A and B are shown apart, each in its own frame.
Chain A
Amino acid sequence: MSDGLPDGVERRPFDGRERLATRGSPVYGEPTDGDWRAWDASRSKLGAMLSRGLDTGLTGGEPVLYLGAAAGTTVSHVADFAGPTYAVEFAPRPTRDLLDAAAPRSNLFPLLKDAREPASYAHVVEPVDAIVQDVATRGQAEVALRNRRFLADDGRLLLAVKARSEDVVADPGDVFERVLEDLRSGYEVLATERLTPTHEDHLAVVATPRTE
């Protein structure tokens, strides 16, 4: 593990520019170089967290639960470096594309489920070392709290909070404060960082389960 990146994620030059990359079959038309494919940090909040050097605790090879997988842009990269990767998404349309991303990745398990109802996938998902959450809907803290049961005691929650999903008019700073406060009822917040300018209006949060 160098420069805080998990094993299997490297900075490599693409067209003369250093970019994050993982090894796997391409998914969204990203540039490739041999087996490596560029991880577009402007299209991926987790990509942005890693490229900014946030300490995510990810090491590579660990089991991961991904909430809000959409078409699989980010979760495909996660499956490239992580172990068993469970991808939860509740909208049927992007899930079609998620299936294409998962087909060549034997460790990526797509699930058409609602992240607010963890009991509907707890019979499939094993305990994980990391939860990546990017659901961009109202109640983002609540989703993280309900899914805490999947996370190992020393595991990491890697959360992207979108302010406008909670409240369109309120000041983003206030919204983030409220979400963090809710989150603290079940998690210890280790680090936060605004993801401007690549992801305006988003706060990255690294947290770990609170143990009484």
Chain B
Amino acid sequence: MDGTAPSGEGWFGGIDRDDEAAATAAIRDGTADAPDDWPSRAVESGFAADENDYYEILHDATMAATRAAVQEHGRSDVQQLQRVVRAMDDCERVANELAERVAEWAATLFGDAGTGVDYCLGLAERDPDPEQRRVVELARRVRDLDDEATALRRSIERTAPEVAPNLAALAGPVLAARLVSLAGGLETLARKPSGTVQVLGAEEALFAHLRGHAPSPKHGVIYTHEAVRNTHPEDRGSAARALAGKLAIAARADHYTGERRPELDEQLRERVATIRARRDDADEGAEGGADR
């Protein structure tokens, strides 16, 4: 690689002092069998004016190289998270599809047939007659997929807070992982304006709207968040906007500093409470406090 010091030379061998990329590569990838009095050698070779100058360059170079290396590891954590989210979604989707098939089939064989994955979990435990064997086996595959989805979810719950502590706290680990995954990475998510975060995952609805045959989508995957779901339908747009705003800030905090900012949780809670209170007041005015 360019700028990498050959063995036996200092990291600065053959590189230009102003070439930050070369310095980063040299620090990260270079090697030497033994240390040497690098500060003196750097001054002798004309790389640095004096030792203080050398240490200044070294500080910048080690900071840049180490920051780059840390970020690279962060990116591979994010990629791992994306894979796990997709695998979990696949397991859940396939489990549901198979469960439908099982329900249809079981209805012809069992008097008490139900539907859904939960029904399959029960059916999987039965000791089947020969003609029921295939459908019970199928139910067992549903159970296996369901187990795997649960294991994948656990893994997301463990890793999302490490990769994106603020986002995971505000959105919950799974939604956080979904947002990162849909954006194609934490860095790209951190760069998105909150309006885009709000509709992430609603791309199809958005295209329909742009083509002129659908209303503008108010929310994408974030509609699964309690702040949106448990808000009066007419206020969900406001709730989604408020939530998306805080999530965008959380993603930036996670990408740029990685530091947890607990005040964001509180701010979100307050914004949502305000939106809901407005509705309650309005309802009271119009309907004299009648139940909805």
| Chain A residues close to B by CB (< 8 Å) | 84, 92-93, 95-96, 98-99, 102-103, 106-112, 119-120, 122-127, 149-150
Q: Which residue of the partner chain, among B10, B35, B69, B162, contacts A93 with CB atoms under 8 Å?
A: B162
In the bound complex, what is the Cα–Cα distance between A186 and B32 (angstroms)? 21
Q: Does B73 contact A (CB under 8 A)?
A: yes
In the bound complex, what is the Cα–Cα distance between A124 and B9 (angstroms)? 9
Chain B residues in 8 Å Cβ range of A111? 27, 62, 65-66
Given contacts A107-B55, A109-B59, contact A126 B37 (CB under 8 A): yes
- Determine the interface band of chain B, counting residues with CB < 8 A from chain A: 20 to 34
In the bound complex, what is the Cα–Cα distance between A55 and B56 (angstroms)? 32
Q: Are A109 and B58 closer than 8 Å at their CB atoms?
A: yes
Chain B residues in 8 Å Cβ range of A92? 69-70, 73-74
Q: Shortest Cβ distance from B252 into chain A, in angstroms?
A: 16
Chain B residues in 8 Å Cβ range of A99? 63, 66-67, 70
Q: Are A102 and B30 closer than 8 Å at their CB atoms?
A: no
Question: Residue among B37, B65, B70 with the most chain A CB within 10 A?
Answer: B70
Q: Are B34 and A149 closer than 8 Å at their CB atoms?
A: yes
Q: Shortest Cβ distance from A149 into chain B, in angstroms?
A: 6
Q: Does B11 contact A (CB under 8 A)?
A: yes
Q: Shortest Cβ distance from A192 into chain B, in angstroms?
A: 27
Q: 9 A–B contact pairs at CB < 8 A? A: A106-B59, A109-B58, A110-B66, A112-B69, A112-B70, A122-B32, A122-B33, A124-B58, A127-B36
In the bound complex, what is the Cα–Cα distance between A167 and B73 (angstroms)? 30
Q: Does B39 contact A (CB under 8 A)?
A: yes
Q: Shortest Cβ distance from B259 into chain A, in angstroms?
A: 9
Q: Are B27 and A124 closer than 8 Å at their CB atoms?
A: yes
Q: Are B66 and A127 closer than 8 Å at their CB atoms?
A: no
Cβ-closest 8 pairs across A and B:
A123-B32, A92-B73, A122-B32, A109-B62, A112-B69, A123-B30, A110-B66, A123-B11
The secondary-structure label for the interface of chain B is helix
In the bound complex, what is the Cα–Cα distance between A149 and B33 (angstroms)? 9
Chain B residues in 8 Å Cβ range of A107? 55, 59
Chain B residues in 8 Å Cβ range of A106? 55-56, 59
A-contact bits for B116-156, CB 8 A (1 contact / 0 none): 00000000000000000000000000000000000000000
Chain A residues in 8 Å Cβ range of B10? 123-124
In the bound complex, what is the Cα–Cα distance between A149 and B34 (angstroms)? 7
Chain A residues in 8 Å Cβ range of B63? 99, 102-103, 110
Q: Shortest Cβ distance from B74 into chain A, in angstroms?
A: 7
Q: Are B62 and A96 closer than 8 Å at their CB atoms?
A: no
Q: Shortest Cβ distance from B196 into chain A, in angstroms?
A: 27
Q: Does B258 contact A (CB under 8 A)?
A: yes
Chain A residues in 8 Å Cβ range of B33? 119, 122
In the bound complex, what is the Cα–Cα distance between A158 and B278 (angstroms)? 64
Q: Does B207 contact A (CB under 8 A)?
A: no
In the complex, the chain B residue whose C-beta lies closest to that of A84 is B55
Q: Which residue of the partner chain, among B35, B56, B258, contacts A127 with CB atoms under 8 Å?
A: B35
